[in-house]
Structure 1
Amino acid sequence: MQGKVYLVGAGPGDPGLITVKGLECIQKADVLIKDYLASPILSAYTPKHTEIIYVGKKAGDHCFTQDQINALIVKKAKEGLTVVRLKGGDPFVFGRGGEEAEELIKAEIPFEIVPGVTSAIAVPAYAGIPLTHRKYTSTLAIVTGHENPTKKESNIDWKALATGIGTIVFLMGVKNLTRIAQQLMHYGKRPDTPVAVIRWGTTPKQVTVTGTLETIAKRVANAGLKAPAIIVVGDVVELRESLKWYENRPLMGKTIVVTRARQQASELVNRLAELGAECLECPTIKVVPPKDTRPLEAAIKRISTYDWLVFTSVNGVNFFFEHLFAMGRDVRALHHIKTAVVGPVTEQRLFDFGIKSDIMPESYRAESVIKAFAGQDINGEKILLPRAKKARSVLPVELTKMGAVVDDVTAYENQAVTDNAAGFLTRLKEGSINLVTFTSSSTVNNFHALLPADALETLMKDVVIASIGPITADTARDLGFKVDIMAEPYTIPGLCEAIRQYYQK
């Protein structure tokens, strides 16, 4: 069988700028051949069986030559595989996608081009620079700042650029910035023409340095800016002062570690990223079914004997209903049962299954659930409590004191995860982590286990700790962490708002 190749533009760095079609291609790839500038987050959308091959294309550090990449694409396609060649920006804008397409034509391999959002347009927009503006210019040029080194002479018409174009965007030109500025001034561009150099555009690491053709090279050198970066030349750069938006976000430049289980981290990661943070996912736990499911299955078999179902987490809801459905039952089996939940997220997840909770406490922890039960006569009533294997005892103990008969059943387990420990510890030692979030006592315990006992104080000295609630905060303090931020209310939105307020102060 002959395979097919999709040359896909990944966009400039922000994974949210991938096109719908580009994402669809990634989701069906057998092989993903990706560049340095393609967001690593996009790889997570591939099927489980996908082979992911990193081919570099980093300035000054190509682990594959272009000829080797071409041969690799052809080889994989001839094996009958669906190949996605994922390239930063747009494959046909200084991306050498044309060369790769020519090789596919020679090999008679079917292919499609999926355009991407080019950094030449997206990066200035994220820096608050419109490339065209009725009051400034109606002309735009996109130019390589790094021509083919085998050329005997440049084919860039510097005079036309300097005198005939209002806005000029140079890609891959930081190393040649001094020469670019000199050429433009030599051919007639005003020395005081505004210039912006934007590094890691559209990502949380975005940094912008502005100046003029006369001053920009020195300013960029003083700031230590290196590739990847783009250069914008033109009067439109003046608009940045009033239009910059991306770099004004409250968490811009902050690196935040998310220790939550990967399958539950998306809401926290997305909210923090919207506030400008670079999120480093380092899940310390994963949620798995219990090793012994018989107690939960036995409870479901006698579900008609219970008066109450109490859920203390979304996980408890998910695993309970998963087993309920697997055993051939549905929500009709719960028609007689009253329900209680620990908080609004758990309440919403329960409602997703068509059940409205009878009790939801004012604050979201076990003690508040008990307080909410104070108005209920539960003496002699049977309560099913499907929850984590190692959970706090306060809820079943206090409900029993109120006269209830409580079945505390394991619905799921939290297992420690150490997959990303090495990379995370390296970032801690470098001092490049600003904040760590804890969303449960389990995340605290497992995070603590990752740290060398004799280096905890040193590694965490300048790291801010944010906790979702008082129980988690107490666990952190007991293990030697200094808790700087606590959510109010004890929810993911509350945690993000508390972090925002901390940095704005």
Structure 2
Amino acid sequence: MNIKSILYTGLHPKLYSHLGNVYHHPMIEIAELEDYGLVDKEITRLNEYSILIFTSSYAVMFFFKRLKQIANINDIKHLFLFSIGKHTSATLASFDITPNFEPIEDSSVGLVKLFKKLSISNEKILIPRSNIARSYMPVELRKKGNEVKTLAIYRNIYPQTMEKQNLDKFGAIIFTSPSCVDNFMKTYGQLPSNKEFITKGRETQKRLDYYKIHCS
């Protein structure tokens, strides 16, 4: 890929360093919840669940931080753990935990496909995730008769400090989540022309396509 400079809007620029000169311009910021009352309630009820799904490394970190404060890590031993993405699984490994399953496709779509392949139904599932996570995965898992509880365990917010960049310096822009796309549009107002857009996951691409159609 012959691109002089790349603007990266996510949170893990090292994952894309192989593409060339990557400039980190995060379009999202991760923050704690203002109130963990609902989280603590579900953690004390982990014995009622059979499956725990982690969709990101941040979900892992915030979940175990809270678990260690109010309960015991042994309280998840009875659960089947699903992890989306190698980065998420690596974060689990930092807690000496290996997930039971990891979909080949690093996305919510990949996890839904894995559930279908394994014919998983009638299970009680807990999904710790961000406050603005998409509804696709829980909706699809419920269609198979599963009882799914989504639990906001951290906040994905617009960065508190944001400095606009001269986009003319970049040949490509990387978006790793729909919220990166949304916040880019909030900051710049439009998608620049003559750029290559690189997206991670179908939902991110769908969000980018929406703006290409409606804001061009």
Fold shared by both chains (TM-score > 0.5): yes
Whether the 8 Å contact between 1:341 and 1:347 is mirrored in structure 2 is yes
Q: Which of residues 443, 449, 452 in structure 1 aligns to 2:186?
A: 449
1:338 equivalenced with 2:80 (yes/no): yes
The 1:304–1:446 alpha-carbon spacing in structure 2 relative to 1, beyond 3 Å, is same
TM-score w.r.t. the length of structure 1 is 0.40
The alpha carbon displacement at 1:418 in A equals: 6.0
Q: What does 1:134-283 correspond to in 2, within 5 Å?
A: 254-261=4-11, 265-268=12-15, 271-272=17-18, 276-277=20-21, 279-283=22-26
Q: Which residue of 2 aligns with 1:302?
A: 45
Aligned partner of residue 174 in structure 2, secondary structure: strand
Match of 1:463 in 2: 195
Report what 1:175 is aligned to. none
Counterpart of 2:59 in structure 1 is 316
CA distance in 2, matches of 1:391, 1:358: 23
Change in Cα spacing, 1:399 to 1:470, as seen in structure 2 (3 Å) is: closer
Alpha-carbon distance between aligned partners in 1 of 2:120 and 2:15, rounded to the nearest angstrom: 38
- Indicate conservation of the 8 Å contact 2:13/2:24, yes or no: no
User: What is the rounded CA distance, in whole Å, between the counterparts of 2:121 and 2:35 in structure 1?
Assistant: 29
Q: What letter corresponds to residue 391 of structure 1 in structure 2?
A: A
Deviation at 1:376, TM superposition (A): 4.0
Looking at structure 2, the residues matched to 461 and 294 of structure 1 have their Cα atoms a distance apart, in angstroms, of 46
Give the C-alpha shift of residue 436 in structure 1. Answer: 1.0
Distance 1:432 1:408 in 2: 40
1:404 shift after superposition: 1.7
CA distance in 2, matches of 1:354, 1:389: 26
Distance 1:377 1:432 in 2: 48
Would you say the 8 A contact 1:342–1:361 is kept in 2?
yes
Per-residue deviation, residues 278-316 of structure 1 (Å, max 9, x unmatched)? x32211110111233111111111112211101111111
Q: How does 1:21-40 map to 2 (within 5 A)?
A: none
- Where in structure 2 are the equivalents of 1:462-501 lying within 5 Å? 462-480=194-212
Is residue 5–residue 20 contact of structure 2 (8 Å, CA) maintained in 1? no
2:28/2:183 contact within 8 Å kept: yes
Deviation at 1:388, TM superposition (A): 1.1
Amino acid aligned to 2:5: T
Residues 171 and 195, structure 2, Cα contact 8 Å, conserved in 1: yes
Give the length in aligned residue pairs.
Answer: 212
- 1:412 partner letter: Y
The change in CA–CA distance for 1:418 and 1:322 in structure 2 (over 3 A counts) is closer
Match of 1:364 in 2: 106
Contact 1:437 1:466 in 2 (8 A): yes
- Distance of 1:280 and 1:394 partners within structure 2: 31
Q: Is 1:440 the equivalent of 2:177?
A: yes
Q: Provide, for residues 44-102 of structure 1, a one-character-per-residue CA deviation record: whole Å limited to 9, x for no partner.
A: xxxxxxxxxxxxxxxxxxxxxxxxxxxxxxxxxxxxxxxxxxxxxxxxxxxxxxxxxxx
8 A contact 1:361–1:369 mirrored in 2: yes
Provide the C-alpha distance between the structure 1 equivalents of 2:64 and 2:125, rounded to a whole number of angstroms: 17
Q: Distance in 1 between matches of 2:203 and 2:149?
A: 23
Question: TM-score under structure 2 normalisation?
Answer: 0.89
SS at the partner of 1:480?
A: helix
| Letter matched to residue 378 of structure 1 | S
Please say which structure displays the higher CA radius of gyration: 1
Per-residue deviation, 1:266: 4.3
- Higher RCO (C-alpha under 8 Å, 6+ residues apart): 2
State whether residues 30 and 157 of structure 2, in contact with CA within 8 Å, keep that contact through their aligned partners in structure 1. Answer: yes
Change in Cα spacing, 1:258 to 1:297, as seen in structure 2 (3 Å) is same
1:413 aligns with 2:155: yes
Partner deviation per Cα, 1:87-136 (whole Å, 9 max, x = no partner): xxxxxxxxxxxxxxxxxxxxxxxxxxxxxxxxxxxxxxxxxxxxxxxxxx
Q: Say whether the 8 Å CA contact 1:418–1:450 is kept in structure 2.
A: no
Structure 2 distance, partners of 1:280, 1:377, is 42
User: What's the CA shift string for 1:250-279, capped at 9, x where partnerless?
Assistant: 65x712111113xxx34236x24xx541x3
Aligned runs of 1:420-439 on 2, under 5 Å? 420-422=162-164, 424=165, 427-428=166-167, 431-439=168-176
- Residue 416 of structure 1 deviates from its aligned partner by 0.6
The answer on whether the counterparts of 2:6 and 2:20 sit within 8 Å (CA) in structure 1 is no
Cα deviation, residue 441, structure 1: 0.7
In 2: Cα distance, 1:394 partner to 1:319 partner:
22
Structure 2 unaligned residues grouped into runs of 5+: none
Provide the identity percentage: 28
Tell me the distance in 2 between the aligned counterparts of 1:301 and 1:287. 25
Letter in 2 for 1:421: E
Cα distance in 2, alignment partners of residues 395 and 370 from structure 1: 7
Deviation at 1:322, TM superposition (A): 0.9
- Give the conservation status (yes or no) of the 8 Å contact 1:331–1:353: no
CA offsets, 1:197-216, max 9 Å, x none?
xxxxxxxxxxxxxxxxxxxx
**2:169 counterpart SS class:** coil
92, 96, 100: which is aligned to 1:350?
92
